[in-house]
Amino acid sequence: MQHYYKGMRIDTTAFRVMKLPRTITRAVFLPVLLLVVVAASACGRAESTSLHNSISIPRITRPAAILPKDRVVGDHLVTFDETNLAGKLPPARPVQAITRGNPELKRVAITIDDGWNADMRILELLKEWEIKWTAFLIGGRGIAESNPDLVRAVRDAGAEVCNHTYSHYVMSGKDNAFVVDELWRAQEAITSVTHEIYPYTRFSGGAYDDTSLQWAADQGFWMVNWTVSSGDTSKGVTVDFQVNNILGNLQPGAIILFHFGGYNTYEVLSRVIPEIQRRGYEVTSLSRVLEGTPFVLNESE
């Protein structure tokens, strides 16, 4: 009698001729059959391995990630290409230093500069009160570039994060290459965290000349100074004096200057914000105060 396994013929007649008892036949035949099956399986694996080794199977690779395109969102540019920022903003026109927002809107802007010795209670206050505001952070000097967690904390506290140059040096009298490098190095440090570019900058001390103003505008940045200062860089200044000075100069479109490490900044903010709101003003960010003016980034640009 013949049996077949995977195309192989197995003749079991000999076992029948001997007419051994069934139990003995099973005891002899089954192990032999098992050995034949194992041998055939091994041959199949060897052939399969040989075939696999002789065929070159192409490696499947994932396509490179496609970065989202630059896009204008509201009043700023969103980009995920943070190492090649120059040229992404249209020229800022008109070429002008900004000291006040839209006088037709009853809004005032809170702007806070630098980043040195930051009083983190300021961020907690603005976040708790859900105030939109604007930060001008230094790119270098131990701030944005070396402290991305601070940049994140500022943004998460409701700020639009703008640049305050890289070195915080006075820009007046510097050449074009120096000014442009200061702007974009600072912006790269910020945008690497936020993925955002706001079209505003502030120079150290608010100092500029006609050429640096023009160079900043050509790069897409409006120069932003202020309407009234909190006076928080003056040692010995009192909270009452600071509060009265701000409230005495309150007007629609006012841009108010503070510093992260200023004198009494937290105390002054905690007093003036409720009072400004009580007088019917919206306390908000620079971009919102500039709404309705030529100094905004938009899709058509």
Per-residue pLDDT tens for 88-116?
999 999 999 999 999 999 999 999 999 99
The pTM is what?
A: 0.78
Cα 192 to Cα 66, 145, 152: the distances in Å are 17, 9, 11
Closest of 132, 105, 112, 111 to residue 253, by C-alpha:
105
Cβ atoms < 10 Å from Cβ of 179: 24
What is the mean pLDDT of the segment spanning 126-137?
A: 98
Q: Comparing 36-50, 88-102, 233-247, which segment has the lowest mean pLDDT?
A: 36-50
For residue 298, what pLDDT is reported? 77
Q: What is the pLDDT of residues 181-200, one digit of tens each?
A: 999 999 999 999 999 999 99
Whether the predicted pLDDT of 57 surpasses 60: no
pLDDT grade for 82, boundaries at 50, 70 and 90: confident
Tell me what pLDDT residue 32 has: 44
Bridge partners of residue 205, in order along the sequence: none
Amino acid 104 reads: E
CA distance 29 to 19: 13
Compute the mean pLDDT over every residue in the chain, rounded to the nearest whole number: 86
Q: What percent of the chain is predicted at pLDDT more than 70?
A: 77
pLDDT value at position 60? 53
Q: Is 54 helix (H, G, I), strand (E, B) or coil?
A: helix
More confident position, 16 or 131: 131
Let me know: does 284 contact 109? Beta carbons within 8 Å: yes
- 108: which strand partners? 283
Predicted pLDDT at 49: 46
Q: In the prediction, which pLDDT does 72 show?
A: 93
Residue 92 to residues 174, 255, 292, Cα–Cα distance (Å): 20, 19, 15
pLDDT at 167 over 60: yes
Residues whose CB is less than 8 angstroms from the CB of residue 207 and which lie 6 or more positions away in sequence, other chains included: 170, 171, 172
